[in-house]
């Protein structure tokens, strides 16, 4: 790779040393032959914009944004993609002549992981989304675009789920998706095709409220969180006879979408995911 023409990108977060993004993007660069150098930046809480501007001035072309700066990035962006505006948060920044453009690739990352890596079609599916926070907001539009039969959002605080239903009602209608939400009582006592856990419960080993009847042998129970061992949500789903998956594939596929946003070249996320799982298994 010719260092003289290498374009610089980075992930910014606090903490950030644990991020797998540099490893993932290095694999993408090798795979595609794109002249990309990708690093980590420990962001300063309260001085996010200063850190981003400094990276731009040093020649940076784009950034991935992780905790706790996704809302800061949303405010900083001069323009937003529709999916970033819908999510209310930004995880991808692109720097160009027209300023700072904010995008959110999390939702398309989970859709691609479910369909391409896990082999589950979302078209015509009955989908249950657990949680109504930022992670859930980012999933709604990309899921609608796959034209499922129905999407139900449930949240411990029913009013938050109701707000999301109201916010995305027009988009649901345009895509022909039956869309509803509320408290845990809105879960139908009939197995769903896909259940997505968009709550932060797995961080604290807490299960989201969900009727056991929602899980069946043909259900994919997908936890947006990743940990070296199956999360409590995954264990719960498996005990009820469902197939369970973690969010590692989402991490890789959202990175692949960011790479595409920056370079116009789409890497093979599945190949990198398989390699990453092998690497992590060897460390376990």
Owner of token pair 């309260």: 46
- Token readout for 203 is 């961080």
- Whole-number Å distance between alpha carbons of 162 and 93: 30
The ranges assigned to domains in the chain are 3-104, 114-246
pTM: 0.93
114-246: same fold as 3-104?
yes
Tokens of 113: 């992981």
Whole-number Å distance between alpha carbons of 71 and 13? 12
Give the closest residue to 192 by CA, choosing from 168, 165, 169, 211.
211
Fold classification of 114-246 is Rossmann fold (3.40.50)
* Residue set of the binding site for shikimate: 19-21, 66, 91, 106, 226, 254
- Residues annotated in a binding site for NADP(+): 131-135, 155-160, 224, 247
Exposure string over 184-202, b if 16+ CB within 10 A, otherwise e: eebbeeebbbbbbbbbebb
- pLDDT at 2 (0 to 100): 45
Alpha-carbon distance of 282 to 44, in angstroms, equals 33
- Computed over every residue of the chain, the mean pLDDT equals 95
Active site annotation includes 147: no
User: Low-confidence residues of the chain, pLDDT below 70?
Assistant: 1-4, 284
Residue range 30-86, pLDDT digits in tens: 999 999 999 999 999 999 999 999 999 999 999 999 999 999 999 999 999 999 998
- Residues β-bridged to residue 41: 12
Annotated binding site: 19-21, 66, 91, 106, 131-135, 155-160, 224, 226, 247, 254
Q: Which of 70, 147, 229, 283 is catalytic?
A: 70
If you classify domain 3-104 with CATH, what class do you get?
alpha beta
């Amino acid at each position: 790779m010719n260092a003289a023409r290498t374009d610089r990108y980075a992930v910014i977060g606090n903490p950030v040393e644990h991020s797998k993004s540099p490893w993932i993007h290095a694999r993408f660069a090798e795979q595609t032959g794109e002249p990309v150098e990708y690093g980590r930046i420990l962001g300063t809480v309260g001085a996010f914009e200063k850190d981003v501007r400094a990276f731009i001035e040093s020649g940076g072309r784009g950034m991935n944004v992780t905790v706790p700066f996704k809302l800061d990035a949303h405010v900083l962006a001069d323009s937003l993609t529709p999916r970033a505006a819908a999510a209310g948060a930004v995880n991808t920044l692109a720097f160009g002549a027209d300023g700072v453009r904010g995008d959110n690739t999390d939702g398309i990352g989970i859709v691609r992981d479910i369909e391409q890596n896990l082999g589950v079609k979302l078209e015509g599916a009955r989908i249950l989304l657990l949680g109504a926070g930022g992670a859930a907001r980012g999933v709604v539009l990309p899921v609608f675009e796959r034209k499922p039969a129905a999407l139900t959002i449930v949240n411990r605080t029913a009013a938050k789920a109701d707000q999301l239903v109201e916010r995305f009602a027009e988009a649901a209608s345009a895509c022909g998706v039956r869309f509803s939400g509320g408290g845990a009582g809105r879960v139908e006592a009939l197995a769903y095709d896909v259940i997505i856990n968009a709550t932060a419960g797995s961080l604290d080993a807490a299960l989201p409220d969900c009727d056991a009847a929602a899980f069946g042998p043909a259900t994919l129970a997908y936890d947006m969180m990743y940990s070296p061992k199956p999360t409590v949500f995954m264990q719960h789903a498996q005990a009820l006879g469902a197939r369970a998956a973690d969010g590692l594939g989402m991490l890789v596929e959202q990175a692949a979408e960011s790479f595409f946003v920056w370079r116009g070249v789409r890497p093979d996320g599945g190949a990198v995911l398989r390699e990453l799982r092998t690497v992590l298994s060897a460390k376990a």
